[in-house]
Chains A and B, each alone.
Chain A
């Protein structure tokens, strides 16, 4: 099958319905990005991103935008891992994520891992724009290669702003062709999974999270704002998830 780069956008808007529940006035997807509403806890809207095609492949450009309006509670997950694959086009693929949360809104963005397959080349750009009173739980996991395989090239930048102020801006570049030393003792040290958990809560302004280690490969890091990050590396995706789950339980 030959296909030129696919362009696809999914949009999700969550709105408080005024009766204590959250409605989804916008729930659009196309091609490989299919958002589906599933059963959630009371008060929240839960959406599952279902991959209707494989990818992103080289040359593809995916965009996902999710917004929780004032007082809305939105939880987004994905049905399966996102798998970056090589394409027929030699170009890189792009995956852009834009998340917005208004005052008293809450977004849980908990997709399954991104797996960077040998020969792929993907640029991920995640932008999070939060109002001063917004809440966020965001998990991001990168697995370098399927089991026993070399990774592809992956560059992933994550930035978080609260009331216009940047509290986090980080880019991880790894895989063949990435700047030197990415697999060495300063960056990933031979580990094959890396991830971050970001928790933003207005209450952290009065009661900041304390820095602490979670085993050898992960640390809880209070950010310059009412937010905390957990940065973790692990030998594989399973062990990465275990430590991020442990961290999430701590920060709840």
Chain B
């Protein structure tokens, strides 16, 4: 395993299209729910423990070798908002393209064939980590970090927030992020023997509702 591969996969400049999405931050800013660095911290903490935990567990399970088709169906059930399902598949398709070019693998090819319109992004992320020779914990770290780094950098643009404040939010969340990764990996290991019901289903009503409000809005800076 190469630790540098983890840096390549987790790099915000990895060409997987994530920069076009705000992880629900734009909807929350427009609704007046994020107006400061403190609000951003609260938002990121809530997203980390819900969507972030679920994404991390799915990425870890895929990296550990769980059936990606079953994982994709379980991810669908955990994403009631059709706007969020569409965003997750679009991001999955873009990540798939970058990952196949970077770490060619039969497993990635097979998943791309099974889901021509894209599989859920965390499932693709887990398989990409696997193709890069990384483990479940690495994949979970990537997914958990992405769940908060996207909203943080989007909020810098949306609110003209001081980038130092946004980075400070992420740094202070790091210990919690490690705990979320531990929970995610434990659930992913359990899912290998007990099936996808063992994976977390933590939900955030305002992320789901906000995603639909955002999708219905004609003018927006971010896709989701």
Contacts and interface: CB of A to CB of B under 8 A. Distances in A.
A21 B74 CA distance: 37
A193 B190 CA distance: 33
B224 to A, nearest CB: 14
Q: Ordered nearest first, which 8 A-B pairs have the shortest CB separation? A: A181-B46, A184-B42, A186-B46, A181-B45, A185-B33, A179-B49, A166-B77, A219-B212
Interface string B84-112: 01000000000000000000000000000
Interface string A207-229: 00001110011110111100001
A169 interface: yes
Contacts of B47: 181, 186
B77 A187 contact: no
A237 B28 CA distance: 23
Contacts of A189: 33, 206
Contact of B80 (A184, A194, A223, A233): A223
B7 interface: no
A239 interface: no
B182 interface: no
21 contacts: A159-B197, A171-B201, A179-B202, A180-B45, A181-B42, A181-B45, A184-B39, A185-B34, A185-B39, A185-B46, A185-B206, A187-B50, A188-B205, A212-B212, A216-B31, A217-B209, A221-B81, A223-B77, A224-B73, A224-B77, A233-B205
A211 B49 contact: no
Interface size class of B (residues with CB under 8 A): 35 or more
Contact of B206 (A170, A186, A221): A186
Contacts of B178: none
Given A187-B206, A194-B205, A211-B81, 13 more contacts: A168-B80, A169-B201, A171-B201, A171-B203, A180-B49, A181-B43, A181-B44, A184-B39, A186-B44, A186-B50, A186-B204, A186-B207, A189-B206
Say whether chain B's binding surface is mostly helix, strand, loop, or mixed.
Answer: helix
Contacts of A186: 24, 28, 42-47, 50-51, 204, 206-207
Interface of A: 157, 159, 165-173, 179-182, 184-189, 194, 211-213, 216-219, 221-224, 229, 231-233
B46 A170 contact: no
A185 B42 contact: yes
A231 B201 contact: no
Contacts of A231: 80-81, 205, 208-209
A159 B176 CA distance: 27
Nearest to B204: A187
A218 B215 contact: no
A187 B205 CA distance: 5
Interface string B192-224: 000011001111111111001101100000000
Contacts of A188: 205-206
B103 to A, nearest CB: 29
Given A167-B77, A168-B80, A186-B43, A219 B209 contact: yes
Nearest to A166: B77
B202 A171 contact: yes
B55 interface: no
B66 to A, nearest CB: 15
A224 B28 contact: no
B82 A170 contact: no
A211 B80 CA distance: 10
B78 interface: yes
Interface in B35-75: 39, 42-51, 53, 73-74
B215 A211 contact: yes
